[in-house]
Chain A
Amino acid sequence: MGVTADFSAEVLRLDPEREIARICLRIRELMLTRVKRRGLVVGLSGGIDSSVTAALAVRALGRERVLGLEMPERHSAQESLQLSGMVAASLGMDTVREEISGILESVGFYQRYDDAVRMLFPEYGAGWKSKIAISDVVAGAELTSFYLVVESPDAAVTRMRLPFKPYLEIVAATNFKQRIRKMLEYYHADRLHFAVAGTPNRLEYDQGFFVKLGDGAADIKPIAHLYKSQVYQLAESLGIPEQIRNRKPTTDTYSLAQGQDEFYFSLPYDQMDLCLLAKNRAVPAELVAPLLGLKPEQVQMVFRDIDAKRATTRYLHLPPLLVEEIDWGNGAGRKDMKNGGTPT
């Protein structure tokens, strides 16, 4: 197929109803033959990915076999709960709300996080907000750096490049949020004899934008093969409320509002989709650049950044590694367990 010559955003266009039917069929097959649990728990963030995942789960299994979990904490955006409530209501599914600030407090998250920020900004405390931002690949940053952005109570914003140690401390502390949420998802899954649906889209899955054993953990990831703009196409067909479809992708992780492209990706999702697709199909930067309003050198830098992120985050995808392969004695269904896992 002349993919190179015909390359445009249209390449990402799919037949939403057909894709929805295909995914739902696959969810049912996987649940019946491999997962063998009675339903799915989906963590609802009020964002597009979890909304579409929940809608697909409901379409595949029926609303009584899907539980939505809302897990806000004190840094979550106000609108997140309103939006997750809206999607749950539109799907007619049950939800449970677990406020996780208390758990985060008890593991010392807020203290650890604030202490790490104070390594750079000793005055950081009550009334301050912060977030992490990434270096701008498109503007010419050849190597990844992370910046700590703080906002004082009088709204003065300061940004400083993060040295290695405070960077690790901040990320390690923040990862508590995703891991605690996942722990609660599995609690509810276990008590209902359900499994857990993960919500990464292809950009996140490919580029390692998830926390290992946090949002990266799941039994089934129904949209991991879909580029983000394709997730939006499904959202429309699935009737996801417009407010959710119009919301700018956010991490909703830090106390200061933070877009995903500010924290992790080099470009807004629609442009990032095209770059990733072009890279996967070996489409030259010269052909992609005019579609994005960028120079070929800038696209080349995004391509390099894609490779760098794949290399840095490869370990996130690894199962626990064994010194020696375990022979399961030709037991049926055991081939998928060659790297760890407990036989059932």
Chain B
Amino acid sequence: MSLQEDIREFIVENFLFGDEGGLHDDSSFLEEGIVDSTGIMQLVSFLQEQYLIAIEDEELIPDNLDSIKKVTNFIEDKKRALMLGSTGSH
């Protein structure tokens, strides 16, 4: 399963009772009422645990977390940065 599918599945299972009707990859979680601010906390905890990344306070912005597409891009960037960091340290 791709990263994007993983995140879609998490959103659909946790916030839509398994019914993904109408959820697009660029649907705004907040504007469309799919995920509220407590839900964003849940999403952040999931991302940190699932992908073993640390999300900093300044990264908690809608640009990173407000749609499946944004979350996917954000996590890909974080993982890439982690890889570069670990490569650079060798």
Contact between A308 and B30, CB atoms less than 8 A apart: yes
Q: A145-B41, A164-B41, A164-B42 are in contact. Are A311 and B60 (CB under 8 A)?
A: no
CA distance A144 to B33 in the complex (A): 15
Contact between B61 and A142, CB atoms less than 8 A apart: yes
Contact between B33 and A163, CB atoms less than 8 A apart: no
Q: What is the predominant secondary structure among interface residues of chain B facing chain A? A: helix
CB distance from B32 to the nearest CB of A (A): 11
CA distance A164 to B40 in the complex (A): 9
Q: Residue A312 at the B interface, CB < 8 A?
A: yes
Contact between B36 and A164, CB atoms less than 8 A apart: no
CA distance A311 to B37 in the complex (A): 9
Instruction: Please name the residue on chain B nearest to A144 by beta carbon.
Output: B37
CA distance A146 to B46 in the complex (A): 16
Within 8 A of B (CB), among A268-314: 308-309, 311-312
Q: A145-B41, A163-B48 are in contact. Are A311 and B57 (CB under 8 A)?
A: no
CB distance from B19 to the nearest CB of A (A): 19
CA distance A27 to B33 in the complex (A): 37
Q: Residue B87 at the A interface, CB < 8 A?
A: no
CA distance A190 to B60 in the complex (A): 48
CA distance A106 to B48 in the complex (A): 36
Neighbour of B36 across the interface among A141, A161, A162, A312, CB < 8 A:
A312
Contact between B57 and A135, CB atoms less than 8 A apart: yes
Within 8 A of B (CB), among A119-151: 135, 141-146
Q: Residue A167 at the B interface, CB < 8 A?
A: yes
CA distance A80 to B37 in the complex (A): 32
Contact between A163 and B45, CB atoms less than 8 A apart: yes
Q: Residue B38 at the A interface, CB < 8 A?
A: yes
Residues in A neighbouring B45, C-beta threshold 8 A: 163-165
Contact between A141 and B37, CB atoms less than 8 A apart: no
Instruction: Please name the residue on chain A nearest to B66 by beta carbon.
Output: A143
Within 8 A of A (CB), among B33-60: 33, 36-38, 40-42, 44-46, 48, 57, 60
Contact between B62 and A164, CB atoms less than 8 A apart: no
CB distance from A89 to the nearest CB of B (A): 42
Contact between B38 and A141, CB atoms less than 8 A apart: no
CA distance A164 to B44 in the complex (A): 8
Residues in A neighbouring B7, C-beta threshold 8 A: none
Residues in A neighbouring B37, C-beta threshold 8 A: 143-144, 308-309, 311-312
Residue of B33, B36, B37, B46 with most partner-chain A CB within 10 A: B37
Contact between B62 and A142, CB atoms less than 8 A apart: yes
Residue of A146, A163, A308 with most partner-chain B CB within 10 A: A163
Residues in A neighbouring B68, C-beta threshold 8 A: none
CB distance from A264 to the nearest CB of B (A): 12
Mask, A145-172, CB within 8 Å of B = 1, is: 1100000000000000111110100000
**18 examples of A-B residue contacts, CB within 8 angstroms:** A135-B60, A141-B57, A141-B60, A142-B61, A142-B62, A143-B60, A144-B37, A144-B41, A145-B57, A145-B60, A163-B44, A163-B48, A164-B44, A164-B45, A165-B45, A308-B36, A311-B36, A312-B37
